[in-house]
């Protein structure tokens, strides 16, 4: 049996929805992160795209709290992108493809 492994790199984003309010958007295309957000009661779906990207909204009291949530969802370090005014955390997902070897009978 031949097993090939491939790594897919996802970028997960977080930003403040509106200035002066305590609502934050969390965007991901990573299936693992999307499942975590879907299970949380403090998250609600804000938008979806046909490419599999989902955006959830969650109320957080501070930006620091929202950053901590993104770090926990992704298990990765969070970085600030000043040019886009968003926080980003990268995740890697292993995709395996199992192929059976051919046997002669």
The pLDDT score that the predictor gives to residue 4 is 66
Angle at CA of residue 82, ends 74 and 90, nearest 5°: 20
Count helices and strands in the chain by DSSP H and E runs: 2, 6
For residue 100, the model assigns a pLDDT of 53
| pLDDT averages per 10-residue partition of the chain, 105 residues | 74 94 96 95 93 95 96 96 96 69 52
Confirm if 78 and 67 have CB atoms less than 8 A apart: yes
What is the per-residue pLDDT for 101? 52
70 contacts: CB under 8 Å, gap ≥ 6: 12, 14, 26, 78, 87, 89
**pLDDT for the residue numbered 95:** 67
Contact 59, 69 (CB under 8 A): no
The conformation of residue 57, written as its DSSP 8-state character, comes to E
pTM of the model: 0.81
State the pLDDT at residue 92: 85
């Amino acid at each position: 049996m031949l097993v090939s492994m491939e790594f897919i790199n996802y970028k997960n984003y977080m930003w403040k929805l509106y200035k002066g309010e305590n609502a934050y958007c969390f965007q991901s295309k990573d299936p693992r992160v999307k499942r975590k957000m879907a299970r949380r009661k403090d998250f609600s779906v804000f938008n979806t795209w046909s490419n599999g990207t989902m955006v959830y909204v969650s109320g957080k009291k501070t930006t620091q709290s929202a950053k901590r949530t993104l770090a926990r969802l992704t298990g990765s370090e969070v970085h600030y992108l000043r040019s886009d005014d968003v926080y980003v955390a990268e995740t890697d997902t292993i995709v395996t493809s199992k192929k059976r070897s051919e046997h002669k009978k």
